[in-house]
Amino acid sequence: MRFGSVEFFKVLIKVVLAIFFFVPLALAIVFGIFWAKQGTELSEVKKENEKLSETVQVLTSEKAGTVEDFCAIFNKSGLSYTEFIKLMNDSKSITAESFYKLLTASGLSDKDLLKLIVKKDEVGVDEFYEVLSQNGISDKEIISVIAKKNGGENWYGILSELGLSDREIVDYLNEKNGWANSVEASTEEKSPYANIHTDMVVTAPASYVREDNTVYLTFDDGPSDNTYSILQYLRNYNIKATFFVVPNRSEYCYTLLKAIAADGHAIGIHTASHKYDEIYASVESYLNDFYDAWNMVYEATGVKCEIFRFPGGSVNDYNEKTRDAIIAEMSRRGFRHFDWNVDSGDALGASWTQMWNSVPADIKANYDKNFRSVVLMHDSDNTTNTVLVLGDLLKKFVNEGVYKFDKINNDTKPVQFAGPFA
């Protein structure tokens, strides 16, 4: 086919016609699809806006005059809690009582609501607590509604069940809502021991952390001649532990306490005398002994201990009559006691071999159940086997690389035989 021939012009005409016909057709199809998609998206946005608009109108009109009507409309609207609460607050058409009734009618219990308010647990309602706080309904209003409904004592019981002590409840409410100190005063009046060592008070954390598969090594009865050896082993393997001490006012004891604190370990109180008959004779006796030990640790280290361990554990034959009252009073003051779930047996004379076999086995059993391990050991002149086996145990654990070790921190959830966390 030569250039300029009849055949050439026939082909050229066909190509030109194809370009003018098929290209516009292709473009029309492409743009048609695009505009159809845009139209669908605009339609969905319009429907969403209409849904929100209709919901607002219905919720602010006489058609939704009762809380039950609110619930019915809300459940049908497809709105999240966040959207719903913002709409309700923007329209300024809901009170704390209506809000409470609405949420409880939608499936939240008093305990669920209070859990959210004290931030103890997560409840899947799109972080409504944060939205609630930002939109004008205070914790005080919601708690007041719950308290009014339950007669006051029930909501207090629920908060206690969540793990808050009297002191925590009072501190929380005062801090969050600026409530008057009369609330604290009324709580103090409930305790017959409120006037004993009034400065022996700490602030417990608002919430607790339960770090499963963590090993907490604890040493009771120190400081002793073995303290430096224990500290050196812990230092060698960069492990932090917790010492529940029985201090005295000797210069030697204060030096050891300072060494424990300087190495970054936690210090708790194990009483000053360790004399079961005396300290458990009454709540007053326990408070007096504890106060003495508490001040000694503070004098030596500047640390105001917030944790403690009962000699013999929280459940023993000596404190049966006074146990509950002591726990209640110490909890009211913000202190937390820790028992254990792994016992080395060193206080009863366990040998190197017995501890080598039992301690890793018990820790592994807890680990397999996704539990924490709080290990009871002793830092005393009579438990030399503890020092002999400690280095070998730490080397074994570190080489295995399975466990995380930590000291008991301010917000560590306690392990207890008896008490609010039992």
Please state, in angstroms and rounded to a whole number, the distance separating the CA atoms of residues 272 and 254.
Answer: 13
Fold of the domain spanning 214-405: TIM Barrel (3.20.20)
Please state, in angstroms and rounded to a whole number, the distance separating the CA atoms of residues 312 and 327.
Answer: 14
Rounded to the nearest 10°, the torsion over CA 308, 309, 311, 314 is 120
**DSSP string for residues in 6-59:** HHHHHHHHHHHHHHHHHHHHHHHHHHHHHHHHHHHHHHHHHHHHHHHHHHHHHH
Of 40 and 397, which is predicted with more confidence?
A: 397
The residue written with tokens 């070998």 in the block is 392
Q: What is the pLDDT of residue 51?
A: 59
Q: Taking a C-beta distance cutoff of 8 angstroms, is the pair 183, 174 a contact?
A: yes
CA angle 204/206/209 to nearest 5° reads 95
Q: Is the pLDDT of residue 183 over 50?
A: no
Please state, in angstroms and rounded to a whole number, the distance separating the CA atoms of residues 71 and 54.
Answer: 15
Please state, in angstroms and rounded to a whole number, the distance separating the CA atoms of residues 112 and 161.
Answer: 12
Return the beta strands (E) in 86-241 as ranges: 214-220
Q: What are phi and psi of 40, to 5 degrees?
A: -65, -45
In this structure, the number of other CB atoms found within 10 A of the CB of residue 337 comes to 25
User: Which tokens go with 359?
Assistant: 């301690």
Q: Taking a C-beta distance cutoff of 8 angstroms, is the pair 131, 82 a contact?
A: yes
Calculate mean pLDDT across residues 259-288.
97
The pLDDT confidence band at residue 422, using thresholds 50, 70 and 90, is: confident
Mean pLDDT, all residues of the chain: 80
User: Which tokens go with 369?
Assistant: 């159940």
User: Which tokens go with 35?
Assistant: 């505009």
Q: What is the pLDDT of residue 322?
A: 96
Q: Is the pLDDT of residue 29 over 60?
A: yes
User: Which tokens go with 191?
Assistant: 């305790």
Q: What is the pLDDT of residue 206?
A: 86
Residues in contact with 146: Cβ distance below 8 Å, sequence separation at least 6, in sequence order: 100, 110, 113, 114, 155
Length, in residues, of the chain: 422
User: Which tokens go with 185?
Assistant: 């005063």
Q: Is the pLDDT of residue 417 over 80?
A: yes
Calculate mean pLDDT across residues 49-69.
55
The pLDDT confidence band at residue 188, using thresholds 50, 70 and 90, is: very low
Calculate mean pLDDT across residues 249-266.
97
pLDDT tens per residue, range 202-232: 999 888 999 988 999 999 999 999 999 999 9
User: Which tokens go with 107?
Assistant: 């499936």
Calculate mean pLDDT across residues 149-165.
61
Most confident residue range from 34-48, 136-150, 186-200, 275-289: 275-289
Please state, in angstroms and rounded to a whole number, the distance separating the CA atoms of residues 125 and 128.
Answer: 6
Domain range summary for the chain, segments of one domain joined by +: 1-46, 67-145, 214-405
Q: What is the pLDDT of residue 163?
A: 62
Please state, in angstroms and rounded to a whole number, the distance separating the CA atoms of residues 350 and 141.
Answer: 57
Among 331, 301, 294, 293, CA closest to 204: 331
Region of 78 please: left (phi>0), alpha (psi -120 to 50) or beta.
left
Residues in contact with 275: Cβ distance below 8 Å, sequence separation at least 6, in sequence order: none
Please state, in angstroms and rounded to a whole number, the distance separating the CA atoms of residues 320 and 317.
Answer: 6
Q: Taking a C-beta distance cutoff of 8 angstroms, is the pair 223, 257 a contact?
A: yes
Calculate mean pLDDT across residues 390-394.
97
> 0.95 cut: is pTM over it?
no
pLDDT tens per residue, range 115-155: 666 654 454 544 555 556 555 566 666 776 776 665 554 55
The pLDDT confidence band at residue 52, using thresholds 50, 70 and 90, is: low
pLDDT tens per residue, range 292-317: 999 999 999 999 999 999 999 999 99
Of 155 and 256, which is predicted with more confidence?
A: 256
Please state, in angstroms and rounded to a whole number, the distance separating the CA atoms of residues 89 and 102.
Answer: 13
